[in-house]
Amino acid sequence: MSISESDLDRVLKLSHLHIPDSEKADYVAQLDKVLGHMDNINQLNLDDLEPSAWANATATPARKDVVVKAELDLETNAPEWVDHSFRVPSILGKET
């Protein structure tokens, strides 16, 4: 396993993180070490196993289409409650 600085840049972009250029080489080396562990795991013989995201991949259970009303005290618990709605801060920043 080896990762490049461009892989790191892509991860930084996706995670909205910023790292000074001077520190990037360190991070690449550290990430490479972490991901290098995959090489160990890759030595396992998994030929007869299907990939799975679950410990036990049986079918998901389902429920009947019947309305169940929840009793919630939203007004008390909401940080800001206006017109029976959750008030959230402005989504777009102000233009500068």
Partner 1 sequence: MATQYEVVIGIEVHAQLSTKTKLFCGCSTAFGSKPNTNVCPVCLGMPGALPVLNEDSVELAIRSGLAMNCDIQEMSVFARKNYFYPDLPKGYQISQFELPICLGGSLAITVPNADGSYEKTIGITRIHMEEDAGKLIHQGADAIAGSDSSLADLNRACTPLIEIVSEPDIRSAAEARAYMETLAMIVKYSGVCDANMEKGNLRADANVSLRPVGQEEFGTRTETKNLNSFRSLERAILYEIQRQTHVLESGGTIRQQTLNYDDSTGKTSVLRDKEDAHDYRYFPDPDLKPLMVTQEQISAIRDTLPELPRAKEARYVDYGLNDQEIKVLLADLDLNAYFENCVKAVPNAESIKEMAKWLVGDFSALVNAAGGSFDTPVIKQDAFLELIVLLKDGTLSGKMAKGILEKMYQTGKTPKALLESSGGGQISDTSELDGIVAQILSANMDVVAKVQGGKTKSADFLMGQVMKETRGRAKPDLVKQLIMDQIAAL
DSSP 52: -
* Identity of the residue numbered 65: D
Nearer to partner 1, 15 or 42 (CB): 15
Question: Rounded to whole angstroms, how far apart are CA atoms 38 and 1?
Answer: 7
d(C-alpha 86, C-alpha 74), whole Å: 9
If the CB atoms of residues 47 and 73 are measured against partner 1, the closer one turns out to be 73
Which of these segments, 1-9, 20-28, 35-43, 70-78, binds partner 1 (CB under 8 A)?
Answer: 70-78
Question: What is the binding site for partner 1 (CB under 8 A)?
Answer: 14, 53-54, 56-70, 72, 74, 82-92
